[in-house]
Structure 1
Amino acid sequence: MTPEQITLVKESWEKVKPISEQAAELFYGRLFELNPDLQSLFSGDMEEQGKKLMTTITLAVTSLDRLDTILPALQSLGKKHSAEYEVPDSSYATVGEALIWTLDKGLGEAFTDDVKEAWLLTYATLSEAMLSGTESAA
């Protein structure tokens, strides 16, 4: 990722944070619309789950310029999702699609092609790190 792409992601995420509760609702609604089978992986309070999601994304976004510091945590998170929650590796593409859709809805006109490209690269980088953790769990 270029410094400019990191800046685009960070600046756009700052615009999402004030609407994080609605963004989480949009995200999970879209995720379950894309793949209803994933809903069975969530048995707890979805409002609390949404807060965890937003906190995790915030941590990842604020760490983009020092990815090496969070890669072990991402790999561990991927391992946990695979081993404990039985999240299929194939769901990562669906999650990415739901995230990009949510950002588009939440940011509106501010979700430019450059911002979208930066987020696609960000998600690919983060999800690849998580998936590398699932490989070590196998």
Structure 2
Amino acid sequence: MTPDQVKLVQHSFESVAPIADAAADMFYARLFEIAPELRPLFPEDMREQKSKLMRMLGVAVRNLHQLDQVLPAVKDLGARHVAYGVTDAHYAPVGAALLHTLARGLGDAWTPELEAAWTETYMAVAGVMQNAAAEAAAKAGATA
């Protein structure tokens, strides 16, 4: 990610943070619409899950300019997702739901440049999570 992309993502997230509850609702509604097979991976009561999503997203976005500060948490999150049944195939619909939510939430501020910056951000974070998940799965397989 370029420094300009980092600034774009961070600045745009400032507009999302005040509507965090609505954004989380939009995100999960879209995710379960495009990937209904993912619904069983989540609790029936989604309140805590929605809060966790927005907190983690906020931490990641605020620290994009200093990724070394957030990488351990992102890696841990990726490794934990193995136990939840998350696979590599699940990352694409999550990314699509995130971009859809941001586009709706940001309205006219959602430009091709901002979409590219958010796409790059998601791909980077998802890549770290997927690598950590693969390492965790390999370790689990080695000890089984």
Give the TM-score normalised by the residue count of structure 2: 0.92
Shift of 1:72: 2.1
Distance 1:52 1:78 in 2: 14
Distance 1:88 1:125 in 2: 17
Identity of aligned residues (%): 47
**Corresponding residue for residue 32 of structure 1:** 32
Shift of 1:58: 0.2
| 1:86 alignment partner, SS class | coil
TM-superposition CA deviations, 1:43-92 (whole Å, max 9, x none):
2421221111000000000010011222122111101001x211122100
TM-superposition CA deviations, 1:4-39 (whole Å, max 9, x none):
100100010000011110000000000000110100
| 1:61 alignment partner, SS class | helix
Distance 2:69 2:19 in 1: 27
User: Please, which runs of 5 or more residues in structure 1 have no aligned partner?
Assistant: none
Mean Cα deviation higher: 64-73 or 103-112: 64-73
Distance 2:72 2:49 in 1: 22
Question: Would you say 1:130 and 2:129 are equivalent positions?
Answer: yes
Distance 1:67 1:117 in 2: 19
> 5 Å matches for 1:32-71?
32-71=32-71
> 5 Å matches for 1:1-138?
1-82=1-82, 84-138=83-137
Alignment: residue pair count:
137
Moved over 3 A (4+): none
Greater gyration radius:
2
Name the Cα RMSD after superposition.
0.9
Look up the equivalent residue of 1:9 and give its one-letter code: V
